Amino acid sequence: YQSRSFPSAYNLARTGTLSTSWDELLWAAITIGRPSTYHVFQHGPTSFHEAIFRLSLIRMAVEQNWHRHLQRTDAFAALDPTEKGMVSYFLGMTLCKLFSSRILNTPSLLHLDVFRPQLNPTILGRSRPDLVGENNAGKWYAFESKGRSSVPSSGDKAKAKLQAHRLVSIGGHPCTLHVGSFAFFQSDLLKFYWRDPDPDAKEPIELPRPGEEWRYYYEPGLSLASMLDEGAMALEHERADATVTIHPKIRELLEQGLWLQAREAARMLQDEFGSDGYRPDGLRVVAGESWSKSYDFSERR
């Protein structure tokens, strides 16, 4: 990965390699807080399918090579440009979430689209950041996350910079970082670039502090965990080869629909979560053995 223009206080390396695991990568994919394509229907099984869809995108897009680096699969290379764009966009958000959690101590991100019912859609528009997150110290960060099937151009990076600038505050608290990021493939290897440029906001966006919007963050994971407990969707679970468990103190709140309370409780319980093997949000995702094997494109066509 490459980091550019971050304040010196963050002490980010300009280049490096981030060591992760399939468990952590799948956790990032499942918990990107954005409205689901299934939300036009009832919640429950539809959120389960949304979670399976996210896992399937990761499985189809990347695999680990002999050097244990992530590379693109033959299946991804075979997609048409429109399909590559969709998968790359999701991969961009997943890596943005992963790096935000590991390097900026900001594990919980929400997509700006979850605020659409509260804001005039013309305010959000198309030229705006994708994600917003609050770190463990109460600082808010804005992220414009993009994905590319090849190395992004200087024009791509400049556009991401402008979009990240527009978000200026959440609940009256100013954004500390306005990050433009890219996940992309270079010589088939998965790479990541992010930059925090000096803010120069035009048409600024001010968001309310999220409350019920945290349902979009937790619902896919809760649905996966619930379906597994009920023994439902067995074939889908077998194909996904990943299990989700939720810390009892968080799950109790989620099952009551207390989304904000679950988020606030998670902030207070992170030390306990870590000692019990959970992520900072109270979820634990475990990838099966198949994730460490090459993706068999021929069996899935």
The pLDDT tens digits of the residues spanning 49-85 come to: 888 889 999 999 999 999 999 999 999 999 999 889 8
- Please give the Cα distance from 191 to 92 (Å, whole number): 10
* pTM value > 0.85: yes
Residue 12 confidence (pLDDT): 94
Residues 107 and 279: beta-carbon distance below 8 Å: yes
pLDDT higher than 60, residue 161: no
Residue 166 confidence (pLDDT): 65
Tokens encoding 275: 């000692």
Task: Indicate the average pLDDT of the chain.
Answer: 85
Give 113's contacts (C-beta < 8 A, 6+ positions apart). Answer: 34, 35, 124
pLDDT over 90 percentage in the chain: 53
pLDDT higher than 90, residue 17: yes
CB atoms within 10 A of CB 234: 11
Query: Left if phi > 0, otherwise alpha if psi is -120 to 50, otherwise beta: which for 241?
Result: left
Residue 42 confidence (pLDDT): 40
Binning pLDDT at 50, 70 and 90, where does residue 137 land?
A: confident
**CA angle (143 as vertex; 176, 202 as ends), nearest 5:** 75
Lowest mean pLDDT among 40-44, 169-173, 220-224, 258-262: 40-44
Binning pLDDT at 50, 70 and 90, where does residue 39 land?
A: very low
- Please give the Cα distance from 149 to 157 (Å, whole number): 15
